[in-house]
Structure 1
């Protein structure tokens, strides 16, 4: 079976739920990886120029838990994710003419935000 690439995090809180789920299942709960491997992959998945404090933590088995807990405290805030999706909806441009591409784009944005805010859509 081909290896799944390590997810990359954008640093945007809207992308946190997907990143968190992928990293949790592929890395954090993977019993074939030790904490050094997990920590290395975690560091590699973070965006350049952000989360520098985590990137500077020495690569040790014990520090993986420190880094993981720091990320969770920083980004795991469903309320912030919800408000960011709502801002996307509020900032949608009004349509002056009914152009199919513009309508499709608006429907797509609404569907993405609705799915992200629907707790049933996540396990």
Structure 2
């Protein structure tokens, strides 16, 4: 009986120890989960922030540093109970990305005296001059002229940072074009990423060609007016030139003449020599 009692006591002791370990493991895992939630919270802040202050950035840098240090210690404590190390490389990668991002932005923001985007741009580098261009709101046909001019002006200035360029780009975007890049974090790489997003969406040759053709098809019917005829000639010439610049073969005069004839009211129509090929430039001379 004494041996049986000893075995029972040992078993009970092991059960109690296992229960204690499970309870400790549960608490450690809960604390580790809180570290992950801190990282997620700061990631969400980074996605939504448009003009964070230095204090806000420093506070969150300290938060993720503490979360990382606690996470590392908790991992070791959990491994001591489990008997093996449960590596979480995803957590470390998220932490390092956040730390690099916030450190980069904080370096720029610290040079800001009045905590505004304009002064921040001037304190962190050279102030970019105003650009006399129309805001871009998502029109396929307007993208290439807009982005070419924007790139030329910003590149000609003395080493503006990519963060400056990103703020500047946002100033001249509206509507769906702005929404496309508005949630990018305030880091240097985001300017390159913004360009990639805009180019992938709007610098699509097939869509641009279709846009120019649709513009031709959608031209309104005009009345018998020399001014309106000249305007029509100008609009058509612009679209045809744009198509040629995109490498489109413009050997379809007959189609163009047919399309344009539909844009003239009956008083503007003149008999055409359909027995021979008729070039639309010649047609312009007849109707204008």
- Give the TM-score normalised by the residue count of structure 1: 0.80
Show structure 1 runs of 5+ residues with no match: none
Q: Secondary structure at the match of 1:118?
A: helix
For these two proteins, the number of residue pairs brought into alignment is: 117
C-alpha spacing 1:94/1:49, structure 2 compared with 1 (3 Å): closer
Alignment of 1:12-31 (within 5 A): 12-27=139-154, 30=157
Question: Of 9, 15, 18, which aligns to 2:136?
Answer: 9
User: Which structure is higher in RCO with an 8 Å CA cutoff and minimum separation 6?
Assistant: 1
1:2-57 CA distances to partner (integer Å, 9 max, x unpaired)? x4516421310000110121122122575521111111111111113544141121
CA distance in 2, matches of 1:69, 1:28: 17
Alignment of 1:24-103 (within 5 A): 24-27=151-154, 30=157, 32-48=159-175, 50-95=177-222, 98-103=224-229
Over the aligned positions, Cα root-mean-square deviation in angstroms equals 2.3
CA distance in 1, matches of 2:155, 2:149: 9
CA distance in 1, matches of 2:178, 2:137: 11
Give 1 or 2: higher helix fraction.
2
Say whether the 8 Å CA contact 2:216–2:239 is kept in structure 1.
Answer: yes
